[in-house]
Amino acid sequence: MSRPILLVSLLLFLVFTSQFEWNQHIVNEVEARPVAISQKQQYLLDREESVKEKIILSQEKHIQKLKSLVQSLEEQLSACKGKDEFVNDTTGSLTEILNELNHHKIME
């Protein structure tokens, strides 16, 4: 009778120890998965950050181009204003000369 009890005890011991090993194996796999997932998430986050940086750099280039265009247009506008003032001064002088000539003709 002691022999069957010994066999049952041995069998129970094997079952419990194998369950413990399986649990350890499962726990190790579960712990490894978050690392793999976090590596994938980190890769995606890094890639997303890289794309954002490229977009920002592209926008900065566009802003610089727009600034240079605005500066060029401002220079052209000031040049046009200068020409307009010159034309107005010249027109005013011609009008005065014509008025004086008309005045002299009338006096003669």
Among candidate residues 46, 49, 26, the one with its CA nearest the CA of residue 38? 46
User: Would you say residue 98 has pLDDT above 80?
Assistant: no
The parent domain of residue 2 ranges over: 1-76
Can you give the pLDDT at residue 63? 93
- With a pLDDT cut of 70, the percent of the chain lying above it is 60
Can you give the pLDDT at residue 67? 92
71: which 2 tokens?
Answer: 């500066």
Q: Which residues contact 79 (CB under 8 A, 6 or more apart)?
A: none
- Is residue 28 situated within a structural domain? yes
Q: Which pairs from 38-41 meet CB under 8 Å and 24+ separation?
A: none
- Report pTM: 0.43
- Is residue 101 situated within a structural domain? no
- Is residue 23 situated within a structural domain? yes
- Is residue 98 situated within a structural domain? no
- Is residue 49 situated within a structural domain? yes
Total of domains in the chain: 1
